[in-house]
A and B are shown apart, each in its own frame.
Chain A
Amino acid sequence: MSQAPGNGGEAITITVKVNGKTYTHTIPPRMLLVHYIREVLGLKGTHIGCDTSNCGACTVILNGKAVKSCTLFAFMADGGEILTIEGISEDGKLHPIQEAFWENHALQCGFCTPGFIMNLYEFLSKNKKPSEEEVRRAIEGNLCRCTGYVNIVRAAMAAAEKMG
């Protein structure tokens, strides 16, 4: 993706802050945000599991909101602030949501996990004491094929408790 495609239109220069660091890149206008994050910035913890915004494996935080980065063009993030899975643990210490996923066996293959965690990152920052039903509604846009969700909900509840 380092070479700009030939017929994607005129290249655009964007400036974004990702995980606290500011980047400026010139990119083709049709480049998806998820490809910018993965291929240009090399942050491969954000995954691509579908092409219809169903699976949520590509979820990141953009300007405080969880978004599906496969459904946005990179230029749409210009001037914005992005947080990815690589940016939520401080000094190598796991974030309480990551810790809760680990403790509650809320992941198996782990492919969907960063998307769930980023979605919950926003949700739990705004909902300090959610009910299980609220958690289920919040993660409905993230698919997991391994766990059957029971432990993911459990982990979210445990994280909410810890984050208080």
Chain B
Amino acid sequence: MESIFSGRYVGAPLRRIEDERLLKGRARFIDDISLSGMLHAVFVRSPYPHAIIKSVDVSDASRLRGVVAVLTYRDIAGSIKPWEFEVPSDPMYPLARDKVRYYGEPVAVVVAEDPYLAADAAELVSIEYEPLEPVVDPLEALEKGAPRIHERASSNAVYKKSYKCGSVEDAFSRAHVVVEDELSMERVYAAPMEPRGVVAHYDGEQLTVWSSTQTPFDLRDAILEKFSDPPSSVRVIQPDVGGAFGAKIPTYPEDLVVPLLAMKLGRPVKWYSSRREDFVATVHGRDVRARISLAATRDGKILGIRARILGDLGAYPSDYWLPDVAARILTGAYNIRNGFVEVLGVCTNKTPLGPYRGAGRPEGIFFIERMVDLLADELGMDPVELRLANMVRPEQMPYKNCFGFRYDSGDYPGTLRKAVDLFKVKDLSKWAREERGRGRLVGVGLAFYVEITSGGPFESAHVKLEPSGRVSIIVGSTPTGQGDATGFAQLAADILGTSIDKIEVSWGDTGLIGEGVGTFGSRTMAVGGGAVIKALEEIIKKARKEAAKMLRVGEEELEYRKGRFVARRSPDRIITLLDIAAATGGLEAKVHYDPGRPVYPFGAHLAIVEVEKDTGRVRVLGYKSLDDVGKAINPLLVEGQIVGGVVQGLGEVLYEQIVYSRDGALLTQSLSDYGVPTALDAPARVEVHLQETPTHHPHKVRGVGEIGAIAAPPAIARAIEEALKPLKIRVRKTPVKPEEIHRMLQQAGKEDDV
């Protein structure tokens, strides 16, 4: 097939085909679904982080006019199987059975004719608890005699693993310099603007479920697997989703309970989370801490790394693998051949930990980039020079890192050098030094990252070229606002040699496409796009057979270009795809595309910040990025992903933190308490540079969705450190909030006075 990069669409910054209905208020988000006779569910949640449920009395709630049902575990026990996890732990029941393990765990559900009534009735459900001592701090959870969260586990450290390479003892004994530090990324909340919700309808045969999810196929499978008496047919529809960022990957208790209610009650049921509820009922992210040592020679050669990574998994270890990813990406872009890392996943009485944009890579990259900066300071070396001296070199690619990740391709030192030029790092650093000399607290920070995309077993696509020339693309990918439909349409329009107006892209419906995987891990344009291309290639292959028959030439005689087959030796023999589609009643192909192996985007980000002396507030004055995303199918979408991710990363460094009280109550339960960045916090501009090292995918895409969230925290952290250079303050964790910086500034001021 001719290059897919020769058309007019791929690579163009086209405005999105998704937007018109969103702009007119005609989208269909979960709460917009309204069915005739629909009931409303409200969940009753535990006010204790750790307690035995002694009794539940639903009689007052049930008596309220308009209440249709009030259910507890006992009412659904025989109907839904609990979750069993891969690491030692007790099962998680969709409604708590006899014990609650986190503040907000669902215990009962009220169903009523209207949501106000359901909320009234939920207040009347009377639950007697016997509080147990909670454990909130993962380090305390490790202590002997700490409250045990799962009876089936021998300790709260339910996941333990280690990775090593080379000889770490030897490396540390040879070292001239060893730097050691403790670092952490605190617990955060994805905060998509749309909270979660579920609607279900059962017609006696088919169960239809709408869920604000990233994984409709998983949800369908979970219903079929966990319902002891599943309906004969289950269709899961992902409506428009108002942001997800990984937090809508898991299948949640409400995703199963609401459909069961619809089946039991014979009426449609809706649950739409309040924001307050979403804070406790939707997974939290990050919450990983590390103790790390780097061993190096005097001239800056990193000899070895030793680390302990500890992840706070919360009450249920559904995503125990998150700290593991942080551990295995820990060598970052550097060629470190001696290493040992121990990973611990610890249960505590908090909302379960789950994926959040980057899922392990932001943590690992924050840790290594902070350590490399620390080493540079210790050695008195330029951090850029130190990075260059230790980077994996292009001739080492593909490169298996110390803990087993195989980086596919790329020139890391070349990219860093290019970034230093493009960003004008030397001029900026000089400017910052001079400004600091005048008393302004400004700083420039740079970070380099490597990250992973294209995971998952496969992605599916079903493409139809109608006799009319219309093209229908149905994908297994499940985008939640990224704009991938536009990207897919660009690929298809160029490959088929047609106008983008002829193309319609659909997704997020198990009734439209039986199998699919979904959107997460920056895989959609890479793997989902691969599936679309594979389906289009198959259509062209089928068309070629038909064309050969119709033109009476051998298939190998035909050249395909922009929607036409031309006989090489008799160029007057031409037939278009459209003619073939019309003559054959349409052409279609259903495919699975196997990504084979992951790819690793990489690049450098730079932040320029100013710290306000009076308030400790950090302003990001400027931000620049150079990212190797492979082929950018639509640079506008790529830039949107990078900038959005950077501002999420900014929030994580400067404001965002999920806070629990010592006794396990969630203190941050609203957007007033939790610092999602506003327009006043975001940088005015982000200077985005793209670079393109091809990958094994047919369209050479590398992936972009999580880059900003991975690269921004270490870049901004370093910039703050530089701005506060006169104070010699280190940034060891995220967030570093204005009040903390203010305190440091005051402390430093006092010392000056002395």
Q: Which of A30, A44, A55, A105 gathers the greatest number of chain B CB atoms within 10 Å?
A: A105
Measured CB to CB, the nearest residue on chain A to B21 is A110
Bound together, the chains give a CA A1 to CA B274 distance in angstroms of 17
> Closest approach, in angstroms, between the C-beta of B485 and any C-beta of chain A?
12
Bound together, the chains give a CA A110 to CA B636 distance in angstroms of 16
Bound together, the chains give a CA A48 to CA B23 distance in angstroms of 16
Taking CB atoms, residues of chain A closer than 8 Å to B194 are 47, 49, 109, 111
> Closest approach, in angstroms, between the C-beta of B29 and any C-beta of chain A?
6
One of B335-343, B387-395, B448-456, B677-685 at the interface: B677-685
Bound together, the chains give a CA A149 to CA B677 distance in angstroms of 9
CB contacts under 8 Å to B, within A46-104, are 46-52, 54-55, 57, 84-86, 89, 94, 98, 101-103
Q: Is A136 an interface residue (CB 8 A)?
A: yes
Q: B23 touches which one: A46, A110, A152 (CB < 8 A)?
A: A110
Taking CB atoms, residues of chain B closer than 8 Å to A150 are 643, 647, 682-686
Are B25 and A52 in contact (CB-based, < 8 A)?
no
Taking CB atoms, residues of chain B closer than 8 Å to A145 are 190-193, 243, 245, 644, 648, 676
Bound together, the chains give a CA A137 to CA B190 distance in angstroms of 24
Bound together, the chains give a CA A145 to CA B244 distance in angstroms of 10
Are B684 and A132 in contact (CB-based, < 8 A)?
yes
Measured CB to CB, the nearest residue on chain B to A138 is B679
Q: Is A112 an interface residue (CB 8 A)?
A: yes
Taking CB atoms, residues of chain B closer than 8 Å to A54 are 670-672, 676
Are A146 and B275 in contact (CB-based, < 8 A)?
no
6 extra A-B contacts, CB within 8 A, seeds A1-B116, A51-B274 = A1-B115, A48-B272, A51-B276, A101-B19, A139-B679, A150-B682
Bound together, the chains give a CA A114 to CA B25 distance in angstroms of 6
- 1/0 per residue, CB under 8 A from B, across A27-54: the answer is 0101100000011000111111111101
Q: Which of B245, B677, B679 gathers the greatest number of chain A CB atoms within 10 Å?
A: B679
Measured CB to CB, the nearest residue on chain B to A139 is B679
**Would you give 14 A-B contacts (Cβ < 8 Å), ordered by A?**
A6-B66, A48-B31, A98-B23, A108-B481, A108-B640, A110-B22, A110-B242, A111-B192, A111-B193, A135-B679, A145-B191, A145-B648, A148-B644, A148-B645
Are A55 and B643 in contact (CB-based, < 8 A)?
no
> Closest approach, in angstroms, between the C-beta of A64 and any C-beta of chain B?
20
> Closest approach, in angstroms, between the C-beta of B200 and any C-beta of chain A?
19
Are B671 and A148 in contact (CB-based, < 8 A)?
no
Q: Is B114 an interface residue (CB 8 A)?
A: yes
Bound together, the chains give a CA A84 to CA B24 distance in angstroms of 10
A-B pairs, 10 with minimum CB distance: A45-B25, A109-B481, A111-B242, A110-B22, A148-B647, A85-B25, A54-B671, A50-B275, A108-B481, A44-B32
Taking CB atoms, residues of chain B closer than 8 Å to A159 are none
Taking CB atoms, residues of chain A closer than 8 Å to B662 are none
Interface size class of B (residues with CB under 8 A): 35 or more
- 1/0 per residue, CB under 8 A from B, across A104-146: the answer is 0101111111100100000000000000100111011111111
Q: Is B630 an interface residue (CB 8 A)?
A: no
The verdict on A89 contacting B24 (CB below 8 Å), with A109-B242, A150-B683 known, is: yes
> Closest approach, in angstroms, between the C-beta of B99 and any C-beta of chain A?
29
Taking CB atoms, residues of chain A closer than 8 Å to B29 are 44, 47, 111
Are B116 and A151 in contact (CB-based, < 8 A)?
no
Are A94 and B686 in contact (CB-based, < 8 A)?
no
> Closest approach, in angstroms, between the C-beta of B241 and any C-beta of chain A?
7
Measured CB to CB, the nearest residue on chain B to A153 is B679
Taking CB atoms, residues of chain A closer than 8 Å to B646 are 148
Measured CB to CB, the nearest residue on chain A to B639 is A105
Taking CB atoms, residues of chain B closer than 8 Å to A109 are 192-194, 240-244, 480-481
Total contacting residues, chain A, CB less than 8 A? 62
Are B679 and A107 in contact (CB-based, < 8 A)?
no
Q: Is A26 an interface residue (CB 8 A)?
A: no
> Closest approach, in angstroms, between the C-beta of A44 and any C-beta of chain B?
4
Bound together, the chains give a CA A114 to CA B527 distance in angstroms of 32
Measured CB to CB, the nearest residue on chain A to B120 is A7
Q: Is B222 an interface residue (CB 8 A)?
A: no
Taking CB atoms, residues of chain A closer than 8 Å to B639 are 105
Bound together, the chains give a CA A145 to CA B245 distance in angstroms of 9
Are A112 and B193 in contact (CB-based, < 8 A)?
yes
Q: Which of A28, A49, A146 gathers the greatest number of chain B CB atoms within 10 Å?
A: A146
Are B672 and A6 in contact (CB-based, < 8 A)?
no
CB contacts under 8 Å to A, within B25-44, are 25-29, 31-32, 34
Measured CB to CB, the nearest residue on chain B to A154 is B685
The number of inter-chain residue pairs (CB within 8 angstroms) is 196
Are A143 and B678 in contact (CB-based, < 8 A)?
yes
- 1/0 per residue, CB under 8 A from A, across B87-123: the answer is 0000000000000000000000000011111001000
Are A30 and B116 in contact (CB-based, < 8 A)?
yes
> Closest approach, in angstroms, between the C-beta of A45 and any C-beta of chain B?
2
Taking CB atoms, residues of chain A closer than 8 Å to B640 are 105, 108, 146-147, 151
Bound together, the chains give a CA A105 to CA B678 distance in angstroms of 18
- 1/0 per residue, CB under 8 A from A, across B669-697: the answer is 01110001111101111100000000000
Bound together, the chains give a CA A12 to CA B50 distance in angstroms of 44
> Closest approach, in angstroms, between the C-beta of A42 and any C-beta of chain B?
8
Q: Which of A50, A141, A153 gathers the greatest number of chain B CB atoms within 10 Å?
A: A50
Bound together, the chains give a CA A107 to CA B22 distance in angstroms of 9
Bound together, the chains give a CA A49 to CA B115 distance in angstroms of 16
Are A147 and B19 in contact (CB-based, < 8 A)?
no
- 1/0 per residue, CB under 8 A from A, across B224-250: the answer is 000000000000000011111100000
Q: Is B355 an interface residue (CB 8 A)?
A: no
> Closest approach, in angstroms, between the C-beta of A73 and any C-beta of chain B?
12
Bound together, the chains give a CA A79 to CA B407 distance in angstroms of 65
Are A5 and B114 in contact (CB-based, < 8 A)?
yes
Taking CB atoms, residues of chain B closer than 8 Å to A105 are 15-16, 483, 636-637, 639-640
CB contacts under 8 Å to A, within B356-411, are none
Are B23 and A107 in contact (CB-based, < 8 A)?
yes
Q: Is B65 an interface residue (CB 8 A)?
A: yes
Taking CB atoms, residues of chain A closer than 8 Å to B685 are 150
Are A6 and B679 in contact (CB-based, < 8 A)?
no
Bound together, the chains give a CA A103 to CA B14 distance in angstroms of 9
Measured CB to CB, the nearest residue on chain B to A49 is B193
Taking CB atoms, residues of chain B closer than 8 Å to A111 are 27, 29, 192-194, 240, 242-243, 481
Bound together, the chains give a CA A111 to CA B24 distance in angstroms of 11
Are B22 and A140 in contact (CB-based, < 8 A)?
no
> Closest approach, in angstroms, between the C-beta of A104 and any C-beta of chain B?
9
Taking CB atoms, residues of chain B closer than 8 Å to A101 are 19, 23
Bound together, the chains give a CA A83 to CA B640 distance in angstroms of 30
Taking CB atoms, residues of chain A closer than 8 Å to B242 are 47, 49, 109-112
